[in-house]
Amino acid sequence: MVDHPLACFPPGSEEHTLIGRIDLRRLPVHVAITMDGNGRWAKQKNLERNAGHSAGAEAAREVTETAARLGIRYLTLFTFSSENWKRPAQEVRFLMDMLYENLLKRQSLLKENDIRLKVIGDNDRLPARLRRKLGEAEENSRAHRRMQVNLALNYGARREIVRAVRSIVAAGIDAGKIDEETVARHLYTADCPDPDLLIRTSGELRVSNFLLYQIAYSELYFTPTLWPDFRAREFLQAIVDYQGRERRFGKI
């Protein structure tokens, strides 16, 4: 019998129990996550908001490794929205610097787990050195095949749809020939299947302008867990919940 890819969790642990409930033949192909709650996590612990972002980055690392080992093919992380520029300038600078430092530190994570990195969103507003480092990480991981991680940076779904419409018009495609597949081909996620599962942490019950076109038939999973506390156990629980649902896509 082949060991489960997450057999590293000790027998008797909650993770081990959850793993026993997961059918590897029915995994979601694409999981998208709105990583929410860093600030509230820090506030609860009487820490600066930046401490919450640092803890959230560690949660992202653990969830990414868990997803790769489990066999998830695509993982999209809502990292920085187009609305997040409204936050205090100091916090935005910290987030941009943290992203840069994490790219320096996580090159081995991409290589060891055979992960391809792709950035989705309008990166023109990102700091120049961050754009360069993102480009390097994308290029260096282009041949990786185990899993693709999409980092949604300066991303907004309505803006993405407007961009897709403009691209279709610029391509001169006849209006009568535009269908759903045409629109999908002009989105940032053109090379990915639509998410099977959308996870949002922190107890908020909204999608917040994230992948609006792509999540038309996604299963939605909301959890009160704040993002820095959302680790392997919580991710596995979300997969168990997903596999307990019946996806009919309009059929009986």
Residues with a known catalytic role:
36, 84
Cα torsion for 242, 243, 249, 252, to the nearest 10°?
-130
List CB contacts of 9: < 8 A, sequence separation 6 or more.
15, 16, 19, 232
